[in-house]
Structure 1
Amino acid sequence: MIRRIAAAALGFSALLTLTACGADSSAEASSSKQVTLTIGDQAKTLQTIVAASDALKGAKYKVKWAEFEGAAPLYQAVQAGAADTGYSADLPALQALSGGVRVKNVAALQNDGKHVGIVVRKGSGIDSVKDLKGQKVVVSSAKGSIAEYLLANALKQNGLSYQDVHVQYLLPTDAQAAFASGKIKAWATFGVYQAVGLDQGGKLLVDGADGRVSGIGFINASDDALANSAKKAALADFLKRLGTALQWTSTHQEAYAKAIQERNGADASVAKTLASAAYGKVLPITDDVNRTVQGVADLMNGIGVLEPNVDVAKSADTSLLK
């Protein structure tokens, strides 16, 4: 069982690498003048949700998908004009804004935060967050990931500083292999990798629930797309349809998991984990959203991970989704 799940996770990651810049037209064109939105996606997540729920039926515009393995290459594509939108958890969006990517957050996504966790090996002697002091903690995948925010916030909540641990960054598949071989005691990770780590002799030290992560993600749009009135109108419609699609995943998790299997090549256990970790709502960018994510930005800026800091409220366009 362990080998099967681990192999599935590795195979799934390889699949993501192969789909790094695919395109799939998902709304039928009725006119050669029809506007086309290029929607940035990670791991076919949004594309699978939209296709499985048939959310684009009747749309008066075309959608082309730009697929990437992670947020960093996706935002590079947005910056280069190869995608109209980005999609990520809060901290990768903040990293993009801090790095000068010309985007605005146009909608918020929300889940319960349980898809992010710190997994430790059984018998490691680490039984609480305070036991992490002096330990090496592997963070997946790069500096500024949502897993790193969980680690930083959990340490703060337990009276420790970020300097109390030794952080090492590893891609999720590399970290998974090292954890399975016993080379890693503590691993801050997410999603299917969290599930695999627990299945490979790990135990959950803490997850992102109860406010340890914000549970907020963002759909953002490039400044160029927002300056195009036709694209802006199409994107406003797409956000409403995505909201309907996410509601569908909440009430049809079995069908959604099956769609993940079919479209992403994941096995049943991996698909079930991914389905249960999905964002469940599309929300407008409100003062509460901005205030919550500003707290994320300020904490990560304070430990030197987010430089320069970001004014979250000024990075939003609230006109598309009321």
Structure 2
Amino acid sequence: MIRRLAAAALSISALLALTACGADSSADAAGGDDEVTLTIGDQAKTLQTIVAASGALKGADYKVKWAEFEGAAPLYQAVQAGAADTAYSADLPALQALSGGVKFKNVAALRSDGRHVGIVVPKGSGISSVKDLKGQKVVVSSAKGSISEYLLANVLRQNGLKYSDVKVQYLLPSDAQAAFASGKIKAWATFGVYQSVGLAQGGKLLVDGADGRVSGYGFIGASDKTLADPAKKTALRDFLGRLSKALTWTSTHQDAYADAIVERNGADASVAKTLASAAYSKVLPVTSDVNGTVQGVADLMHGIGVLTPNVDVAKSADTSVLK
């Protein structure tokens, strides 16, 4: 079972490595040459699978093309280059892109319970609490500024420790999973299917992102150029409404959603079940409460030198798309 899970995790990594910008066009509408086309940025077919499985695009009077990328960083680069109209990521990758000068606005927030992010330790590590991490090397998946790194920074602060009290090493999830399996990692800040694989390999969950340890927010962003196009902005507003219904569908049809992940992504059934249970559950307007919570994320990561320069989250939102 453990070998099957590990192999499945590695197969997901292989899937993530296959980047195909704009390769798939999907909408249940016919139209002429002047039909609006939205190029929706996605990671690992996540949004595409949700939308397709739920039938959310039926009757749309615009076309949707999908821009698929390995992770958030290349997706935001595509938005900057005009190769995608929208982006999709957790809060910290969005902040990193804004800090790096990518021209986009957050137009909608996504909500989850935070349990899909965690710190996993192997049995016999001698680490039974967050305070025991002091002086230890902690592997963070995947790059600097990931949601896993925010969880680590936040729980250290909550337990009276400084970020400099641990030694951080960045590893791609598949590399970290292999190192964890071979006993070379004493603490691993990770997420999603890799968290599940680590636990299946005998690891113990030290702490997860629930109860406010991560914000639980992600964002749909739209490029400044897209927002300046009235027809695309109207189509985007409609798409967000459809995505909201699609996410509701995933929360009430988890088995069907997991089946869709298996069918469209080639994932192992147990991996698909984990991914289905960790999905964002809601599309929300970007309110002052959302901005305030995510500003706390920005301020903490800026304070430890991960987010430079800092970001004014409220000024990075366009609330006119989704009321």
1:236 equivalent in structure 2: 237
2:293 equivalent in structure 1: 292
Question: What is the TM-score with the length of structure 2 in the denominator?
Answer: 0.99
The whole-number CA distance in structure 2 between the counterparts of 1:276 and 1:35 is 33
1:1-322 alignment runs, 5 A limit? 1-27=1-27, 28-322=29-323
1:178-232 Cα offsets, whole Å, 9 max, x none, are 0000000100000000000001121000000000000000000000000111111
Contact 1:20–1:69 (Cα < 8 Å) also in 2:
no
The whole-number CA distance in structure 2 between the counterparts of 1:152 and 1:304 is 11
- Give the gaps of 5 or more residues in structure 1: none
Q: Deviation of residue 31 (structure 1)?
A: 1.5
Q: Deviation of residue 4 (structure 1)?
A: 0.5
RMSD: 0.7
The whole-number CA distance in structure 1 between the counterparts of 2:156 and 2:30 is 51
Contact 1:71–1:88 (Cα < 8 Å) also in 2:
yes
Contact 1:87–1:219 (Cα < 8 Å) also in 2:
yes
Q: Percent same amino acid among aligned pairs?
A: 84
The whole-number CA distance in structure 1 between the counterparts of 2:46 and 2:149 is 22
Contact 1:115–1:207 (Cα < 8 Å) also in 2:
yes
- Give the gaps of 5 or more residues in structure 2: none
Q: Deviation of residue 19 (structure 1)?
A: 3.6
Question: What is the TM-score with the length of structure 1 in the denominator?
Answer: 0.99
Which letter maps to 1:309?
A: N
Q: Deviation of residue 32 (structure 1)?
A: 1.5
1:134-158 Cα offsets, whole Å, 9 max, x none, are 0000000000000000000000000
The whole-number CA distance in structure 2 between the counterparts of 1:80 and 1:247 is 32
Which letter maps to 1:318?
A: T
The whole-number CA distance in structure 2 between the counterparts of 1:117 and 1:235 is 33
Q: Deviation of residue 22 (structure 1)?
A: 4.9
3-state SS of 1:18 partner: coil
Which letter maps to 1:310?
A: V
1:84-119 Cα offsets, whole Å, 9 max, x none, are 000000000000000000000000000000000000
The whole-number CA distance in structure 1 between the counterparts of 2:22 and 2:176 is 27
3-state SS of 2:305 partner: coil
Which letter maps to 1:268?
A: A
Contact 2:10–2:174 (Cα < 8 Å) also in 1:
yes
The whole-number CA distance in structure 2 between the counterparts of 1:9 and 1:74 is 22
The whole-number CA distance in structure 2 between the counterparts of 1:156 and 1:65 is 39
Q: Deviation of residue 243 (structure 1)?
A: 0.3
3-state SS of 1:24 partner: strand
Q: Deviation of residue 20 (structure 1)?
A: 4.1
Which letter maps to 1:154?
A: V
The whole-number CA distance in structure 1 between the counterparts of 2:269 and 2:207 is 25
1:113-133 Cα offsets, whole Å, 9 max, x none, are 000000001100000000000
3-state SS of 1:50 partner: helix
3-state SS of 1:189 partner: strand
Contact 2:22–2:39 (Cα < 8 Å) also in 1:
no
Q: Deviation of residue 18 (structure 1)?
A: 1.6
3-state SS of 1:318 partner: coil
Q: Deviation of residue 29 (structure 1)?
A: 3.0
1:299-322 Cα offsets, whole Å, 9 max, x none, are 000000000000000000000111
Aligned pair count reads 322
